[in-house]
Amino acid sequence: MQSIKKYLSLIKFSHTIFAMPFALIGFFLGVQYVKTNQIVLSENWFNINPWLYTLIFVVLCMIFARSAAMAFNRYLDMHIDAKNPRTAIREIPSGLIKPKSALMFTIICSVLFIFCTLAINHLVFYLSFVALFVILFYSYTKRFTALCHLVLGLGLSLAPIGAFLAVTGIFDLLPILFSVLVLTWVSGFDIIYALQDEAFDKENQLNSIPALMGKNNALKLSTFLHFITAAIIIFIGFYTPHLFWYWIGAFIFIGMLVYQHSIVKPNDLSKVNIAFMTANGIASIVFACFVILDILLK
């Protein structure tokens, strides 16, 4: 049990609340698309309900992909984390988990992720290698570009389109819009989170938006990215007909964006964790619940 807790802490399993709700949105968008276009689903490995089968493997893909990405990030950054007082207590630098064990965990999760995509359909299987490259490559980016926040956003943005592809096997504009929404949203709040390490990043020649632009300008860029996020949410609402449930979710999500920017100031970072975890966690879960309810009641 203690080992399980260590690895759940290593991968910050609680942070699954950022991408998983949008994967579920992508899944239910796919279900709606299949039913609207009367697409016949192919048989699955276990000959069970196709919706349940796909949902199970979508969730497993999310868990394994994110676990691989986080474990690899911790493995690659173990020496950096050891130098930073804020991160020195993490599992690898503190000695709770051995580096080789974290790397092996990464490999196992990566293989399981690929296996789960194979269980869904061939398109998702082929694209799994691209997705895996993006989410693992992110861990290197802070070493050479301040755009690392956007790469993280890109990795998480694969959730809604990936889930949609798992159900339908085709691309469509609506899930792509949700993916762009996730990209700008995650990039924006990751910049806020990185404000804590501005001085450390500069001292250790690590790249980040706060280290490049300073706290004031970094917050302005984060605000701009979240403005784009809000604009996409509103555009989606008018792009396809929605019930008022969608707009309730949209109002709450945008409200959480405004809230997190109201509590984080360049000279006061005491509430960064509230903005990062609480505000964004509530935003993603509540928004997904209302969007899915909107889809199911149409």
pLDDT of residue 11: 85
Report the distance separating Cα 155 and Cα 105, nearest Å: 19
pLDDT of residue 147: 98
CATH architecture of 2-297: Orthogonal Bundle (1.10)
pLDDT of residue 38: 87
Mean pLDDT of the residues in the chain: 95
pLDDT of residue 5: 85
Identify whether the C-beta of residue 221 lies closer than 8 Å to the C-beta of residue 213.
yes
* Per-residue model confidence as pLDDT tens digits over 102-160: 999 999 999 999 999 999 999 999 999 999 999 999 999 999 999 999 999 999 999 99
Q: What is the mean pLDDT of residues 210-223?
A: 98
pLDDT of residue 143: 97
Q: What is the mean pLDDT of residues 267-293?
A: 94
Identify whether the C-beta of residue 208 lies closer than 8 Å to the C-beta of residue 201.
yes
Q: How sure is the predictor about 255, in pLDDT bands with cuts at 50, 70 and 90?
A: very high
Q: Residue-wise over 234-264: b if at least 16 C-beta within 10 A, else e?
A: eebeeeeebeebbebbbebbbebbebbbeeb
Report the distance separating Cα 283 and Cα 269, nearest Å: 20
Coil vs helix vs strand at 46 = coil
pLDDT of residue 211: 98
Q: What is the mean pLDDT of residues 72-82?
A: 97
pLDDT of residue 171: 96
CA distances from 166 to 153, 205, 275, 287, 295 (A): 20, 40, 32, 22, 18
CA distances from 83 to 80, 89, 189, 206 (A): 5, 10, 24, 12
Report the distance separating Cα 59 and Cα 27, nearest Å: 10
pLDDT at 180 over 90: yes
Instruction: Please give the single-letter amino acid code of residue 126.
Output: Y
Residue labelled with tokens 């349940």: 52
First and final C-alpha spacing in the chain: 44
For residue 207 the two structure tokens come to 């790249």
Q: Residue-wise over 108-131: b if at least 16 C-beta within 10 A, else e?
A: ebbebbbebbebbbeebeebbeeb
Q: Who's near 85: CB < 8 A, 6+ residues apart?
A: none
Phi first, then psi, for residue 240 (nearest 5°) are -125, 150
For residue 196, count CB atoms less than 10 angstroms from its CB and return exposed for 0-12, middle for 13-18, buried for 19 or more.
Answer: middle
CA 122 to chain centre: 23
Q: How sure is the predictor about 37, in pLDDT bands with cuts at 50, 70 and 90?
A: very high
pLDDT at 2 over 90: no
Lowest mean pLDDT among 5-19, 199-213, 283-297: 5-19
pLDDT of residue 146: 98
pLDDT of residue 227: 98
Give percent of the chain with pLDDT exceeding 90. 87
